[in-house]
Structure 1
Amino acid sequence: MTNDVYNLALNKSVIIREPDAIFDQIQKIGYYDKETRDMSKASKLTDGKYGNLANWADVTDWFVFYRKMRREVIVDLEQINSVNSISIGFGQRADVGIGTPINVRYYVSNDGVDYRYIGMAKPDVPNYFAYSNTSSDMDRKVFKLDKTPEGAPLNVQARYVKLVFVINIFGWADEIEIGGKEGIVDDAEIPPVRDDGMTFNQFVLPGTPEAAHIRNQFLWYSGPMKAGNERFSDWTKDKVLPIFGYQDIKGEIVDWQYDDILALPITSMVTPSGLDSNGNAKFATKHDFLAYLDFIFKSDTQLGAINAAVAEVNAKLNTNKKVRVNMAIPYLLDSEDFGDIGKGVPFSTKIDRTKYPNTREGQLQAATDAFNNRVDAIKWYVDEVIRRFNESGYSNLQLDSFYWYHERISDSYGENDLIYAIGDYIKSRNYFFTWIPYVGPGSFYQWRDLGFTTGSLQPGFAFGVATKELFNQVVQAAKNTGGSIEIEYDSMHSLAVYLNNGYFQGYMNSANTYYYGGSTPIIDSAYALTPTDDRFTDANSVNRRNVYDRIYEYVKGTYKPRFTAAVSSNVTNPDDIGVNIKLPLANSYTEGSLTIVYDDSLVTYKGFTLGASLKDKASVEVDTSSPGLARISFKVSNPANAVYADLIEKRNPMNGAPDLITLKFAKKPGVDAAAITARKFALDASGNMIDINGNEYLNFGASDMIPGSLEEQFARASDSVNSAVNDRALYGLASALVAALPDGRNKSVLQAKLAALDPNEVKVELVTPVTEFALGSDAVLTVRGSNQTGAPKQMTLIIAVYEKTANKMVNYSAVTQTIDAGKYVLATAMMKLPGSGEYEVRAFVWDSLTSMKPLSATIVIPVN
């Protein structure tokens, strides 16, 4: 034993642990082709040889770490020694993807079990600088610890030394050096128990300062768009209203939904610098940032529209809320001339290597100049946002936070150093600083070290190729870092997986939540049955509305686990119709029930065949005792055969969806085959599933319009109004359908559309809410005729029965009267309808029964 200070780690054994390797496995990410899985190669870390700095491609003396996020590297010193310093070297060559960690944590132990944290080291030179003279150079950063967190010289006992760091993509390490003396000398101590600032084991509590006061934050995308795509960001008050006020199916605001938004630039917005190769907007100059701010700080749309919408919600619900706004900081690209922000022109954020000598010191100064300019550019943006917000006069909004837009740390110019500086500045202005990194690189483990107030993890399940096991790992990672988990919407099937996990794993109510839904899906969902523009409803409209309702339940903490089903109907052969049901992303269901609604006047039920998920594995019953309903129930006899599915193809939950059952139908005699369409068969909103653990899942919702449902009534009326835009002859039918709707905002909107369509001197409206009559019945109808001219008008209001084929009036009732401007006349008729034939009831206005000059559109009510 010697009392000399030397490298205690030289030639000592090394163990490398990969506690997060499961993430790569779940996401089907392989190994780097140059990386060895032979951990005996870890001896490179203590063999006394430094990596080749003249040729980055030479990995002889580098140990290559690839992805997998955290690493735990343990050196066994073989006996308890006195340790005074610890360091590790990492190579950096950003242009080929070789980066360094942002820090390394150090721990020591005498028994290999009880590890004590002794401090954290950052690189000896900032990551925004990497020295290079040639295309093959490698720079080397050293992460050395020689003081305790309290600032005292390091002198601790240790047999085992552990290093913990996070790898984004590539990390090339050479030597671990542990300076010290053999044995316990110079009063070397066992370190006290310290918090390492990395392990929390709980979610961040929603609404707390540690959560930036966030409970539920909606990601709101905006920005100027190129011609043809304006609808993705033409945010008016009516379009943003259902984000904040939850609207029932009638369009009435009945509750608050979101009172917190994250304002982000839409990825393909138009900036002066254009789009990159991936179609994303470039933010390289002052004018790019101003293009975004000029657009969203408008008084009548964008943030102005949100301010007005919040005022309406407050008035409707008798509340006095202000919506909190979190403003994104777009990712700054290098530019030789950012623009004048008071520092003169040109103002470059790009490293200018010509200004200083081509030495390490000169290159460091050039990199520092560029880095400081980047910091100043983003500070200017932050100040500009604050100034505009203070001057906007938005009485219902408050700026609360800033958000780092880039979702992973870039190794290209030391983005971590930039985040440190900007975070300090934002906090000095008394605002929160937030981030939502995605799972993949190691960034999400580092949000606390980077200085963010709070961090939430993007699971990425909806957009990648991963198994549902990802959620268990993401939940643990979120707890480890004291963060939360983002909800991501891509389809109702994957959304149900997110929401179900939030329910079962507790973060629905115990963590703050961000909600990603692209640019407009939440709006398309709220208005799915009465679209805000000239679009028509379709087979997915009910599913879209289901998404809106389920997310509202989740926001409110009342959501219950849901299953989703996919119904597809093959009506090609009307004598052999198949209605197939699959259960995408099924969660080990052992029993369940659901109901198919069909038109029993068109088809006859013939039986069923079982899909592979139930055939020879379950008892199944189909009950058709109620007309037009096929009630399906099943029970799996062996839990090993529970109905289960995972995501096996990116953004395609249907690939691999378990095939449950196919119901068979046949056309009834005399029925026109053209009348039988796939949409005549729909899953209703009832039903449940029970999983292998006894948990119950309710149906996510009906698959399509159920005949006679309120959803169908609104969709039919909305589509009729849109049809009347192109064919005024349909005005009457549209008017009748709208009149039959229950009162509410959506009915009023449709009535306003109709009013704008009617060009006639007299407006005819239904008073009796009826959409059809039956053959052989007594037709009772009341209509109103209103004078829309500026003078008295003589009119004859007629209610008549017409034979459709001959277009012949067979019965009528009429009222002739002079009506003052702006006044109206009512007419009521009761007529016995024929028992057979093709007829319709029409209501309209002529100037008289003699000249028969039309003064109004015609309301048409079918007789069936």
Structure 2
Amino acid sequence: MSYYTANKEVEFISCPSKYIAAEGALRENRDLLLGKAPISIEELVPLPDDNKTDYYNSPVSNPALTDGMIDYSATYTSPAWFHFTRGIDRTVTFRLDNLSAINRFEVCFLRDESIAVRPPRKLFILLSENGKDWEVVSRDSRLTCVFEKDIVTKRIELEVPRKALYVRFKFDVACHVWCGRLSAYGCTEIPENAKDIVASEAESVAKQTIYNKYPDYNALLGVHNVLLSYNCLPKDRVKHGEGFITEEQYLPYVAYLDKDMKIKDTMFDAYLYLPYTAFNYADNAKTAEGWHYYIDNCFAKGRNLEALDKTVGRVKDELNLPDYKVHVFFSLLYTFTTSTSFGDLDGSGKCLNFTKIEDRKTAIKWAVEEYIRRYNEKHTKNTVLGGFYWFEESIAFADEHELDLIAYARDLVHSHGMKFFWIPWYQAGGFADWQEVGFDIACMQPNYAFNDKIPVSRLYDNADITKKLGMCVEMESFLHGDDPFHINKFKDYMDCGAETGYMHSVKMYYQGGVPGDFYNACHSSDAECRSLYDDLHLYIKEKYVSRKDR
């Protein structure tokens, strides 16, 4: 059911006589969509509740798509724009007044990076005579521009006109798409050279790949549960060893501890090292010195990786699991284009400039090889290096190098026999294209834990979307001490996972860093808070039962 049409079904008419142009049909080439409203607008997945407004998603009655007016000032508040927000993509369908010969299309979109309004990455145009059989007459029309605030237009000419009654535009909606014009030019007098629509498998090119299953564990080397093990803060934020994780802090994550703090079982079987946001967006992170500082932190003596390795050794000995090991993953930091004087990473004396793609590739290659070198030097006995995480939460399509850099990183990681993955925020830019972009697996954040106004239905919407797209789900804890409200919110994630099935797929867990929420729950004297840790253990072992089914 579409947000735009509710329960109404669109009737497609197989070109009866009243739609066939009579004598006196116009030879004039004109915009056949001028002033027409779409007969349908469809989104692929349900829109978030907070986007179901006329501002974020203009109603079908809004005339901006076909009124022929364009705001050349590129002002995002102008009423000249028809708004689309989230939902993965839109399919906008028009019915003409008559069967017509169509020879040209024109579209117009806004780009304003300051508010994340961007033109689609892909645009498909389809035509049909009967509303059932469609021909893709234009595909992958890249809509690009140089400036971060600009009008993006595209004119698409057909070599031979097509006979059609229906016109369909299909494009991705990564976050916000503001459209100022959809036009189809032609005439109602059908020339002799006009071709009939030829429906073919080409129509499937315009369709989103639907997997309808969560990822298998082999998508990530057999890993089941990945803890986001945040490490490293800016130097001026480290007062008492923050960002340097100890064995004691790791113990409730590596092992399940009963209320007497006795080791009873294993817990997380994988750990992702990634910097705290305070570091990643600090000026120091945008320098070679900062990258060295971060990697040094990962391999700090007695902390982080070393502490994890020793903790796993202790737990496996106590549980008599001689072959037990956990996987570790490291983060590839982003090469910000603002870093025009990044510094010398490899001692070559060359100062890298991240406006140049080759310098950005140099930095990525150095990072992958440096992580691997430093990891191998540690000779850990209880961990396995599994791969790398692309440390951005949305795809910056406006960055002209972004897709090439991701592909480069993927190929580099794969050349070492490792996995490459991504954790986008809810319906972030590019999330539906995660595999095409280059990731082995992607895990979407529901972002339910952090906003008290978001209803629990967000979890079920996220579960449906991720299953459709073959993604897994990030578990998110945002406790406020022993506050029952936020304890209950995390249990909502587990309930939904047990009910919908993502409990039985790869899972990644955000909980604010280590020590973090789960450590505190383990040690809590509050029965309800401690129950979160006990339920988490059941969930990790896929034995958790939703509270609705108890």
1:497 to partner: Cα distance: 0.9
1:467 alignment counterpart: 455
1:439 to partner: Cα distance: 1.7
**Equivalent residue of 1:315, what SS?**
helix
1:215 to partner: Cα distance: 2.3
Which residue type is aligned with residue 304 of structure 1?
A: E
From 472, 475, 484, the equivalent of 1:487 is 475
2:110 alignment counterpart: 91
Q: Is 2:164 aligned against 1:164?
A: no
Partners of 1:58 and 1:224 in 2: how far apart? Answer: 37
* Root-mean-square deviation (Å): 3.8
From 27, 31, 36, the equivalent of 1:13 is 36
1:265 to partner: Cα distance: 0.8
1:22 to partner: Cα distance: 5.4
Structure 1 pair 446–14 and aligned structure 2 pair: CA distance change class (3 A): farther
Q: Is 2:259 aligned against 1:249?
A: yes
> In the alignment, is the contact (CA less than 8 A) between 1:314 and 1:321 conserved in 2?
yes
1:584 alignment counterpart: none
Equivalent runs, 1:181-580 vs 2, <5 Å: 182=190, 185-186=194-195, 188-192=197-201, 194=204, 196=206, 198-209=208-219, 213-224=222-233, 226=236, 229-269=239-279, 276=282, 283-316=285-318, 317-333=320-336, 334-341=338-345, 345-350=350-355, 370-410=356-396, 413-414=399-400, 416-417=402-403, 418-439=405-426, 441-464=428-451, 465-490=453-478, 491-509=486-504, 511-519=505-513, 520-521=515-516, 524-525=519-520, 527-528=522-523, 540=526, 542-562=527-547
Q: Is 2:152 aligned against 1:140?
A: yes
Identity %: 21
Q: Deviations over 1:738-777 (max 9, x none)?
A: xxxxxxxxxxxxxxxxxxxxxxxxxxxxxxxxxxxxxxxx
**Equivalent residue of 2:291, what SS?**
helix
> In the alignment, is the contact (CA less than 8 A) between 2:344 and 2:351 conserved in 1?
yes
**Equivalent residue of 1:518, what SS?**
coil
> In the alignment, is the contact (CA less than 8 A) between 1:121 and 1:143 conserved in 2?
no
Partners of 2:278 and 2:457 in 1: how far apart? Answer: 32
Larger strand share, 1 or 2: 1
From 115, 123, 146, the equivalent of 1:130 is 146
1:19 to partner: Cα distance: 2.9
Partners of 2:91 and 2:97 in 1: how far apart? Answer: 18
Where do 5+ consecutive residues of structure 2 fail to align?
Answer: 1-20, 479-485
Partners of 1:105 and 1:311 in 2: how far apart? Answer: 55
**Equivalent residue of 1:379, what SS?**
helix
Structure 1 pair 523–476 and aligned structure 2 pair: CA distance change class (3 A): closer
Greater RCO structure (CA 8 Å; 6+ sep):
2
**Equivalent residue of 1:502, what SS?**
helix
1:73 alignment counterpart: 92
> In the alignment, is the contact (CA less than 8 A) between 2:31 and 2:185 conserved in 1?
yes
Structure 1 pair 23–37 and aligned structure 2 pair: CA distance change class (3 A): closer
Which residue type is aligned with residue 492 of structure 2?
A: V
1:453 to partner: Cα distance: 1.9
Partners of 2:98 and 2:71 in 1: how far apart? Answer: 28
Partners of 1:414 and 1:195 in 2: how far apart? Answer: 24
Partners of 2:499 and 2:412 in 1: how far apart? Answer: 39
Structure 1 pair 189–489 and aligned structure 2 pair: CA distance change class (3 A): same
Larger helix share, 1 or 2: 2
1:289 to partner: Cα distance: 1.6
Which residue type is aligned with residue 468 of structure 1?
A: V
Structure 1 pair 484–84 and aligned structure 2 pair: CA distance change class (3 A): farther
**Equivalent residue of 1:235, what SS?**
coil
**Equivalent residue of 1:318, what SS?**
coil
Which residue type is aligned with residue 561 of structure 1?
A: S
Partners of 1:291 and 1:30 in 2: how far apart? Answer: 45
Which residue type is aligned with residue 88 of structure 1?
A: V
1:412 to partner: Cα distance: 5.8
Where do 5+ consecutive residues of structure 1 fail to align?
Answer: 147-152, 351-369, 530-538, 563-694, 698-864
1:408 to partner: Cα distance: 2.4
1:195 to partner: Cα distance: 5.7
Structure 1 pair 421–122 and aligned structure 2 pair: CA distance change class (3 A): farther
1:374 to partner: Cα distance: 3.1
1:172 to partner: Cα distance: 3.1
**Equivalent residue of 2:535, what SS?**
helix
> In the alignment, is the contact (CA less than 8 A) between 1:264 and 1:328 conserved in 2?
yes
1:31 to partner: Cα distance: 5.1
Partners of 1:416 and 1:14 in 2: how far apart? Answer: 36
Which residue type is aligned with residue 404 of structure 1?
A: W
**Equivalent residue of 1:478, what SS?**
helix
Could you say which structure has the larger radius of gyration? Answer: 1
**Equivalent residue of 1:164, what SS?**
strand
Partners of 1:386 and 1:259 in 2: how far apart? Answer: 20
**Equivalent residue of 2:362, what SS?**
helix
Partners of 1:202 and 1:194 in 2: how far apart? Answer: 17
1:8 to partner: Cα distance: 7.0
Partners of 1:87 and 1:382 in 2: how far apart? Answer: 44
- TM-score normalised per structure 2: 0.79
Partners of 2:92 and 2:428 in 1: how far apart? Answer: 19
